[in-house]
């Protein structure tokens, strides 16, 4: 476990972590297409919104503890049940009941802040505290762009292009599972090809799916090879992460728990994110759905902390509601926003880092997609979330990945990052600018004075896909709507993209590993 940042002090050690440099700020593209924000880890200085009074927080906590003590959680993983028995929990078949004192003791061992270091240490992440990080879309089975003009199954090429976008944009800090599921690759070897692409086309933090021991072990080994790490170095701190969902209500399946146990035993990070839909897999009331989500998450985190005290764990929220007319999930709703904010309160109560999402229900990159995503994104910001999953490229409730939506989302993410920069609300005498106001008086303007000239290039956010021209100028330039502009930029980025370098010996070792594991059959499947 990386103790660079301690739970007690929140203070970094003297080991310097680089925050920039050419390798961090660019994807080594030959010519910049636009001026984007520099690579940095945004800090959310705003106090979180807390809908609940203290009594409400206690009510949800007590409800979650009641569930864990008296109803129990189904753990389908046999090893986990053996561990729970050793810990003194009550195990009856697959049902596990655990005392609240034990749960809180275990959860208290989890760090409130930790690092994840990819092969490029300039892209090291700090998870926790006031940091807020953004990850790309993960796991849609389908793809849509304006050139194809319809929803199609994802391919390796689609997936690789979304990885390229993830590397290119500095506002994307980590790469989720498969940015789109490449269904043209057989499931037995899919993880090998995608992780090869992920580790060669990007040098940012990567993810492993907890879907069978082979996938988890293969991905850990590939990250180790790409980073040129010894086993001791690999286990010394997190270099990748996994994210699991409980099978709501009240169930954890076998492969996800198995994968997490394998990850924590080798020092890697785990995100536990129940997928609770109010009215379907959870109570129709939002506080009831959050209570269920908290119980499911804590049950797994307690297990992991018992097995590997101090391992890096994040509590996640994916609580929303269903459309009561169709039963379909809905995202970016008012209820989703409140659920995220409430979960943020609970995460702070347990002193755990938190994951949320920037998601929508819209089917295409239109106005609906943006207001729903904006609702989700701002609820994450307001909740004190530390990592925002699915922050770029998500459509159709997670069933479609879109490069145009990806780029439109990155505009929003860059705006959010600018919003968080302290110089925006700097209240020093120079920023209060009384002398400049005196110079202009009541009859002049501020365009030409030195105070403005010294700052005009950096004073305000400059968009890269938004069009700030008036209607006539926009029309004269072709009258392209935002998705059309995003589509053109997508094609330009892919055409000019240059992958970050990797040492030849590491690339050769990675290639050999993938070839060997394919020859061995990869991960077993039933087809």
Q: What are phi and psi of 10, to 5 degrees?
A: 65, 20
Q: Contact, 82 vs 169, CB < 8 A?
A: no
Confidence (pLDDT) at 31: 63
With H, G, I as helix, E, B as strand and everything else as coil, classify residue 370: helix
pTM greater than 0.85? yes
Residue for token digits 């290639």?
A: 511
Quick one: which of 388, 332, 351, 369 has its CA closest to 44? 388
Confidence (pLDDT) at 19: 39
Mean pLDDT per block of 10 residues along the chain (527 residues) reads: 36 36 44 89 98 98 98 98 98 98 98 98 98 98 98 98 98 97 98 98 98 97 98 98 97 98 98 96 97 98 98 97 91 97 98 98 98 98 98 98 98 98 96 97 95 94 96 97 98 97 98 98 91
Task: Give bridge partners of residue 113 from the DSSP assignment.
Answer: 128
Give the CB-side neighbour count of residue 440, counting CA atoms within 13 A: 14
Confidence (pLDDT) at 5: 38
- How far is it, in rounded angstroms, from Cα 335 to Cα 323? 12
Beta strand pairing status for 313-316 and 206-207?
Answer: unpaired
CB contact set of 356 (below 8 Å; sequence gap of 6+): 316, 317, 340, 343, 344, 376, 379, 380, 383, 385, 387, 388, 389
Domains of the chain: 52-72+104-418+463-527 (3.20.20.480)
Residue ranges with strand state E in 224-363 = 240-244, 251-252, 269-272, 277-278, 313-316, 320-322, 329-330, 354-357
Q: Could you give the dihedral angle defined by the CA atoms of residues 273, 279, 283 and 288, in that order, rounded to the nearest 10 degrees?
A: 70
CB contact set of 23 (below 8 Å; sequence gap of 6+): 120, 122, 203, 500
Question: How many other C-beta atoms can be found within 10 angstroms of the C-beta atom of residue 453?
Answer: 10
Burial class for 92, CB neighbours closer than 10 Å (0-12, 13-18, 19+): exposed
Question: At how many degrees (to 10) do helices 187-201 and 213-226 cross?
Answer: 20
Handedness of CA 407, 408, 413, 416 (dihedral sign): positive
Quick one: which of 35, 38, 4 has its CA closest to 21? 38
Three-state SS across 122-146?
HHCEEEECCECEEECCCCCCEECCC
Burial class for 55, CB neighbours closer than 10 Å (0-12, 13-18, 19+): exposed
Burial class for 189, CB neighbours closer than 10 Å (0-12, 13-18, 19+): middle
Element (H, E) at 389: strand 387-389
Give the CB-side neighbour count of residue 18, counting CA atoms within 13 A: 11
Task: Give bridge partners of residue 371 from the DSSP assignment.
Answer: none
- How far is it, in rounded angstroms, from Cα 128 to Cα 122? 18
- How far is it, in rounded angstroms, from Cα 355 to Cα 297? 12
Q: Could you give the dihedral angle defined by the CA atoms of residues 446, 451, 456 and 460, in that order, rounded to the nearest 10 degrees?
A: -80
Confidence (pLDDT) at 13: 37
Question: At how many degrees (to 10) do helices 403-419 and 156-168 cross?
Answer: 20
- How far is it, in rounded angstroms, from Cα 356 to Cα 376? 9
Q: What are phi and psi of 389, to 5 degrees?
A: -80, 155
CB contact set of 499 (below 8 Å; sequence gap of 6+): 27, 28, 164, 167, 200, 201, 202
């Amino acid at each position: 476990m990386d103790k660079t940042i301690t739970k007690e002090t929140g203070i970094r050690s003297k080991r310097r972590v680089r925050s920039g440099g050419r390798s961090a700020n660019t994807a080594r593209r030959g010519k910049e297409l636009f001026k984007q924000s520099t690579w940095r880890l945004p800090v959310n200085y705003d106090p979180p919104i807390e809908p609940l009074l203290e009594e409400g927080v206690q009510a949800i906590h007590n409800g979650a503890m009641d569930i864990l003590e008296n109803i129990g959680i189904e753990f389908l993983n046999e090893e986990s049940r053996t561990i729970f028995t050793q810990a003194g929990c009550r195990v009856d078949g697959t049902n596990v009941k655990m005392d609240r004192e034990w749960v809180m003791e275990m959860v208290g061992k989890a760090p409130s802040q930790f690092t994840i270091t990819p092969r490029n240490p300039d892209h090291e992440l700090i998870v926790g505290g006031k940091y807020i990080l953004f990850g790309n879309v993960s796991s849609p089975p389908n793809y849509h762009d304006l050139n194809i003009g319809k929803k199609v199954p994802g391919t390796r090429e689609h997936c690789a292009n979304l990885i390229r976008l993830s590397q290119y944009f500095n506002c994307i800090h980590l790469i989720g599972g498969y940015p789109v599921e490449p269904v043209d690759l057989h499931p037995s070897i899919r993880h090998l090809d995608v992780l090869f692409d992920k580790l060669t086309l990007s040098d940012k933090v990567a993810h492993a799916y907890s879907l069978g021991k082979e996938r988890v072990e293969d991905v850990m080994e590939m990250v180790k090879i790409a980073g040129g790490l010894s086993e001791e170095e690999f286990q010394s701190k997190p270099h990748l992460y996994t994210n699991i969902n409980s099978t709501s209500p009240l169930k954890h399946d076998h492969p996800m728990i198995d994968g997490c146990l394998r990850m924590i035993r080798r020092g890697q990070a785990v995100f536990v994110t129940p997928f609770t839909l109010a009215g379907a897999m959870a109570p129709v009331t939002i506080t009831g759905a959050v209570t269920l989500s908290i119980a499911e998450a804590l049950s797994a985190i307690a297990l992991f902390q018992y097995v590997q005290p101090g391992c890096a764990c994040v509590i996640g929220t994916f609580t929303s509601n269903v459309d009561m007319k169709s039963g379909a999930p809905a995202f970016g709703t008012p209820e989703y926003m409140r659920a995220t904010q409430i979960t943020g309160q609970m995460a702070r109560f347990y002193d755990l880092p938190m994951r949320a999402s920037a998601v929508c229900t819209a089917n295409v990159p239109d106005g609906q997609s943006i207001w729903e995503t904006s609702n989700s994104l701002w609820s994450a910001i307001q909740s004190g979330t530390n990592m925002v999953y699915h922050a770029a490229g998500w459509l159709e409730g997670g069933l479609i990945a879109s490069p145009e939506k990806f780029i439109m989302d990155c505009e929003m993410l860059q705006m959010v990052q600018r919003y968080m920069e302290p110089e925006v609300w700097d209240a020093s005498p120079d920023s209060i600018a009384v002398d400049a106001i005196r110079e202009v008086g009541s009859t002049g303007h501020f365009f030409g004075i030195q105070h403005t000239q010294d700052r005009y290039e950096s004073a305000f956010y400059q968009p890269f896909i938004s069009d700030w021209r008036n209607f006539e100028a926009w029309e004269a330039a072709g009258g392209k709507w935002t998705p059309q502009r995003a589509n053109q930029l997508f094609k330009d980025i892919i055409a000019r993209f240059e992958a970050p370098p990797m040492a030849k010996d590491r690339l050769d070792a990675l290639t050999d590993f993938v070839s060997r594991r394919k020859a061995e059959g990869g991960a077993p499947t039933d087809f």
